[in-house]
Structure 1
């Protein structure tokens, strides 16, 4: 991940020079072990912003269309991202995500599955809930707030791990997924609300 670390330093410097880059709650990220970062999605800038906000490398799930772009797709693989089909049950992507967590890495997910056109938090997809329930990862909610205009603020609010022990079970029902995704999205919303206050 040498390329990732080099790029992270460059991108972080860019954000610090051209934006008011603020990160709150970095201490909530475990220094080791599997972690799932769940965040709201407002811009294509969000993945590099998250990568700049925490010290550990993040493996992002990204829409498969991006991997079909010449050169850019190869670049995404190089920095540890992997494709996911949107709007369906992508077993290959889910399997890859579990492998990332099994290797004690950090997985980055935008549960809305697409960027919000209004800036308001949208509905979450069940895949994030499945990973949260069936893995031993710490689930960390993140709120991102910015217009991404030069010299304007980029605020990242990192919350505490979400307790989901009561949902850890062998068989996961669809109603459990619905309930858990609701909990996950509520925790992301809490991070956003705290920045407004």
Structure 2
């Protein structure tokens, strides 16, 4: 078992011990090919929860600051995470993300860019739309529902891939593409709340 597989097993045990995790429609994740997996962001445990719920390895963008923590600096890349400088256009992170998608892997993103303190789903940043438009990856929305309170239910719901052909053909803006993704995430949340 590689480090990612070990980490996934460890996180599954931890999360299932703390919360009642319910995974809904994991089969909607395409079995192969590039996938842009986009979820709302409400807690620090969201990335491991998405990783545990997905039937494929997920590569996550993570804020560059945590790569300065000595232990995490060497550990995070082995867990498929790579740094992104927030608040600016990070060309290196954009290039890495596109390489992941074009090589047929899964890129996990939280389009809001930061956690929602209220639990409400906010507006997404243009980065998710950029990846959706610049790749041929399937774009899978994912809703995280719950409060992460001890032994309470936390749901993670996968949706059908978002149809992107029309937006790609009309050369829509990245922000327009992100808005479409966020609409699908919000719809999943309301349907499964």
TM-score with structure 2 length normalisation? 0.95
Aligned partners of 1:14 and 1:89: how far apart in 2?
35
Q: CA deviation at 1:87?
A: 1.6
Distance 1:58 1:178 in 2: 23
Unaligned runs of at least 5 residues, structure 2 = none
SS at match of 1:144: strand
Q: Give the Cα separation in 2 of the matches to 1:182 and 1:138.
A: 16
How far residue 17 of structure 1 moved from its aligned partner, in angstroms, is: 2.9
Residue 18 (structure 1) shift: 2.8
2:156 is aligned to 156
Aligned residue for 1:22, secondary structure, equals: strand
Q: State the distance in 2 between where 1:113 and 1:172 align.
A: 23
CA deviations over 1:6-40 (Å, ceiling 9, x no partner)? 11112112222331110101110011110010000
1:183 pairs with 2:146: no
Aligned to 1:49: 49
Report the Cα distance in structure 1 between the residues aligned to 2:58 and 2:161, rounded to whole angstroms: 17
Cα separation, 2, equivalents of 1:67 and 1:162 = 32
Aligned mates of 2:183, 2:74 — CA distance in 1: 35
**Structure 2: distance between partners of 1:5 and 1:163:** 31
The residue that corresponds to 2:109 in the other structure is: 109
Q: Is the 8 A contact 2:37 2:139 kept in 1?
A: yes
- Number of aligned positions between the proteins: 193
State how 1:50-89 maps to structure 2 within 5 Å.
Answer: 50-89=50-89
Partner residue, 2:40: 40
- Partner of 2:70, secondary structure, is coil
Mark the runs of 5 or more structure 1 residues left unpaired by the alignment.
none
Runs ≥4 residues deviating over 6 A: none
What is the alpha-carbon root mean square deviation over aligned residues? Answer: 1.4
* CA–CA separation in structure 2 for the residues paired with 1:185 and 1:91: 23
Give 1:72-151 correspondences, 5 Å limit.
72-151=72-151
Cα offset, 1:101, TM superposition: 0.8
* TM-score normalized with structure 1 length: 0.93
- Match of 1:161, SS state, is coil
